[in-house]
Amino acid sequence: MHNGFIQLYFPDADAIRAELSEGLLAQHARTSPKYLYDALGSTLFEAICKVPEYYPTRTEAAIFDQYLSEIARSIGRGSTVIDLGAGNCHKASRLFSALQPVEYVPVDISVEFLRDAVNALRQRFPPIRMTGIGMDFSASLDLPDDVRREKRLFFYPGSSIGNFSPDEAATFLARIRDACRNDGGLLIGVDLVKDKAILDAAYDDSLGVTSAFNLNLLLHLNMLLGANFDPRDWRHRAYFNQQESRIEMHLEACRDIEVRWPQGRRRFAEGERIHTECSYKYTPDDFLHLLERAGFGTVRTWTDERGWFLVCHARAV
């Protein structure tokens, strides 16, 4: 197949309802961060990337701009770029001129969004073979046979690795390592530990865009679960937990409320929270240790002058 789209993810409504119900009824209510990204959530996240306080997107892009030729030399030409959580494919496409990949394989759970992005990209880069894959790569990395096995470069930018706990991250990176075979590698962006005030502001911006992003989850839950959340009953809470080295995002009840949905109900006391996302921050040494644990070696790293963000190219060993 020269250019195609392979859909491996088909949402199972019953399984989603069961997962969400279990999380909301847990002692400390929680939901997976993937439910933040419905159509409106994805649009709001793109807006977050533009607010002054949210440095990761800009800082990572500046590192790629400054060091692209070095990064390309480290990787070599002619790879198969497998873009995990590709979204609008913008980050990967900025690297094409330097990397000159043979094949581009964007992977995302938002099937329609990805399909549109890939179709637009094909017009701009006709020589690159493109196969879009709609799949939940957090569950499995079994790529279809259509994807070339040689010189695989897994691209995982945006510090999304921070959504996994360090143990989960090690397991996920080991899965990428296995999918690399013997001559592949990983190009990854990692957010670094820094001053608490900078981190707090990045996840609780003055315009309230991150707050809207978090509160929109409740509307998505209403749709998926048939629940009766009212966003006006909740407030956004985000802060850096220094002991765990992670940002935590929560939704906090502004008053005593009862939420109902067909599979259950729960009373939330004023001040009680639903934990919606974690974003772990690393020191460079801790992250390199994680890569080593997962079976990667020959790591090259690039950072910005403030040392806020890290880009790594690691080879499978």
The upper half-sphere exposure of residue 44, i.e. CA atoms within 13 Å in the direction of its Cβ, equals 19
Q: Report the distance separating Cα 230 and Cα 161, nearest Å.
A: 31
pLDDT at 101 over 80: yes
Q: What share of the chain is helix, strand, coil (3-state, %, to 5)?
A: 40, 25, 35
Which tens digit of pLDDT belongs to each residue from 20-52?
999 999 999 999 999 998 889 988 999 999 999
Which tens digit of pLDDT belongs to each residue from 161-174?
999 999 999 999 99
Fold entry, domain 67-194+281-316: Rossmann fold (3.40.50)
Q: Report the distance separating Cα 30 and Cα 16, nearest Å.
A: 14
Q: What predicted TM-score, i.e. pTM, was given to this entire model?
A: 0.94
Is 74 in a helix, a strand, or coil? helix
Which tens digit of pLDDT belongs to each residue from 209-229?
999 999 999 999 999 999 999
Look at residue 2 in the predicted model and tell me its pLDDT.
Answer: 52
For the chain, the C-alpha Rg in angstroms (whole number) is 20
Average pLDDT, the chain: 95
Domain ranges within the chain, ordered by starting residue: 12-52+197-280, 67-194+281-316
Q: Residue 191 in contact with residue 159, Cβ under 8 Å?
A: yes
Which region among 12-21, 88-97, 107-116, 305-314 has the lowest average model confidence (pLDDT)? 107-116
Q: What is the mean pLDDT of residues 259-285?
A: 97
> CA nearest 163: which of 249, 255, 254, 273?
249
Look at residue 1 in the predicted model and tell me its pLDDT.
Answer: 40
Banded pLDDT at 140 (limits 50, 70, 90): confident
Q: Report the distance separating Cα 212 and Cα 48, nearest Å.
A: 10
